[in-house]
Chains A and B, each alone.
Chain A
Amino acid sequence: MSLSAKKLYWDQVLADIQDRFGPQFHDLAVETVIYYLPGEICELSSAEERKAVIDSIPDDCSPAHAKQLIINGTRVLWKKRNVGS
């Protein structure tokens, strides 16, 4: 799932999951990849890129809480990585 997160953009992440896993694992993969996306987003060098990736996540995507979780997670990681730097 962590490799799928490297695709960053939501439709590409989902496509990678479809390519990489059998149908019986798709739900599990989507439920899991959302925990890896914040780390990948924080690696991006510009605010525009980070915003574009987050904007690629539909507000009504499944799982329902995914977008807010990814936004919050990105903020947490960003703050943590930039403390003291």
Chain B
Amino acid sequence: MWAHDLALGVEAELRVLRDLQQRYPDARKIYGEHSAYDLEVPGQFTVEVKFDPASQRTRNIVVEYYHRKVSGLHTSTADWWVFDTGERFIWLTRAAVHSCIIGEGIDPVKIRGPGDRHPKWVFLVPVETISRYSSEAP
């Protein structure tokens, strides 16, 4: 399950990369399990990609920040976050993700994903809500 999810995540990163490369030909993927972001346009900005196809069914985007240790939103240093719902990309600056969570008063919840051995702490942000904080892709 974990390997399958990882593969889907990598495919999402490559989809976003191809999109970015149309505007920034030097955009590239960062390899490494513990990298602080997934993609970069050297000297310009960095990007974190989150693939969340379940949001089509749940209507919520999962924003993880703690999974036995600090993770996700609290470890990524990316300038931009892009949520791939499987239907579309939702682009936000990192500050906009925080603004959305705090501005909308979204409480953290503990969940255990299908492939998770341990529970994780996340924000479940309605797709419509997070979309209001989104921007045009850089």
Contact = CB atoms under 8 A, between A and B. Distances in A.
Interface of A: 27-28, 31-32, 35, 38-39, 63, 65, 69, 72-73, 76-77, 80
Given A63-B74, A72-B95, A35 B101 contact: yes
A77 B106 CA distance: 12
A9 B113 CA distance: 35
A39 B98 contact: no
21 contacts: A27-B66, A27-B70, A28-B121, A31-B65, A31-B70, A31-B74, A32-B66, A35-B101, A35-B102, A35-B108, A39-B105, A63-B70, A65-B74, A69-B98, A69-B102, A72-B99, A72-B102, A73-B98, A73-B99, A77-B103, A80-B103
Interface of B: 65-66, 69-70, 74, 95, 98-99, 101-103, 105, 108, 121
Contacts of A80: 103
Contacts of B65: 31-32
Nearest to A79: B103
Contacts of B105: 39
A80 B99 CA distance: 11
A37 B22 CA distance: 41
Contacts of B70: 27, 31, 63
B98 A32 contact: no
Contacts of B95: 72
